[in-house]
Amino acid sequence: MVPISSAPAVGELAPDFSLYNTAGRRVSVSQFRHTQHVLLAFFPLAFTSTCTAELCAFTEDFDQFTTQDVTILPISVDAVPSLKEFKAKYAMHVDLLSDFKREASRAYGVLREESYVSKRAYFLIDQSGVIRWSHIEDTAHNRRENSEILAAIASLKG
């Protein structure tokens, strides 16, 4: 059994990973260093009500994130084909990342070992690769509103 890790703390260097996205490309946190801030948004499962609302909200506010030099990386344990269908069904603007082997979820301490899905969690990483804000939900039915996330992003500039 793989040991359970704890979530990295604000002020720590973000753990790197390499996952496939719905466009068929490998994506890692480190590729955005010195160019973009990154919002990692772990979500439990595609096609569930809270996850759908959350990802559709990212699409609705997409421009507010991109004008702040933030790349959103939504991550779930679903396989790429499922994520492709989820993205297409709801016309999402962001590519979704598949953590099918649960490596990123474990590295960020958000894997629920008993159900083998990740917790809903957010990690805001600045351009130098340091975690500047994070939040892990108590239950899968809760999610942060984009206004709270955008306020955390605004604090990166001040």
Please work out, in degrees rounded to the nearest 5, the angle formed at the alpha carbon of residue 31 by the alpha carbons of 26 and 34: 165
Q: Which residue is listed with tokens 């894997």?
A: 111
Q: Helix 49-60 vs helix 146-155: angle between axes, to the nearest 10 degrees?
A: 50
Question: H or E stretch including 107?
Answer: helix 103-107
SS3 of 80, please?
helix
Residue 56 annotated as catalytic: no
The tokens for 120 are: 């809903």
Active-site residue, selected from the candidate residues 46, 51, 117, 131: 51
Question: H or E stretch including 81?
Answer: helix 80-89
Which residues are tagged catalytic? Answer: 51
